[in-house]
Structure 1
């Protein structure tokens, strides 16, 4: 299975957790409106991730739109997003390279038909999640609150501190 996909879904899980930590630091009364906006964005991203998980497994997802009818609380979202992130990490660890190229037909919640490869679906989930985390980061910035440092490079160096010791010199795979 693709090492890059495993890395990207591990990064997404880390970035989502970091974002929930930051949101949890905010005063819920003072920032009620902004936290509600953040919850709506995160809910939408989560629902889309679950819809694509269903497409990947040829299951019914049961969603009528790309967001919940009633936005869950941030605590509920945190648990649901963590479970979804865990599912994707497990999925990419077990998917075969040949099946990544398989194209799957599906129907969007608005009724339009779609067809994407499994790899394209996985890429969509990663990019879509990053886009909406960025929107939440923008809300935080507008409040003069520093958003989490949501980059792949930061994730890699925090999760593997030994990469810092390798800085400044090329590390070539398979070099003698």
Structure 2
């Protein structure tokens, strides 16, 4: 699975650039965790999970990746918690993805300089996943944070798409009427 994590500092004017970045890569991320969204992000092909009472974080999952959002009573840090339903994660169960953002209280938590802006890097962590790689995408979307990509080396989990079954309603009604007539005669 491929995960992106980005503090976008407002997604409204950056969603098209993020979508272009996603489309330009051969493998699209399965899950995208965003912080400082300042609104509800929408990217075609992804389902957006976000707390309706907050506008600070969101988790986007590809439309063929099943997930359930969990709303928690935790206060202090804005967050979005999503349970990714993946049969291939292993015996440990499903994969929980949280996008969290804690606003600084009075004192800036991040200080940049003209020569070194990355004084407090973003954080991504995984548990029970021994084969994972992290890389900086070197794309900032106009923010002072770059997109981070985390790739795990396990089988991909995709929703199974079955064959649609179309019911012939006229035929069903006719068969139902015939069955009712034969039971009435008996």
- TM-score scaled to structure 1, two decimals? 0.25
User: Could you say which structure has the higher strand fraction?
Assistant: 2
Q: Which has the higher helix share?
A: 1
Larger radius of gyration: 2
Structure 2 length-normalised TM: 0.24
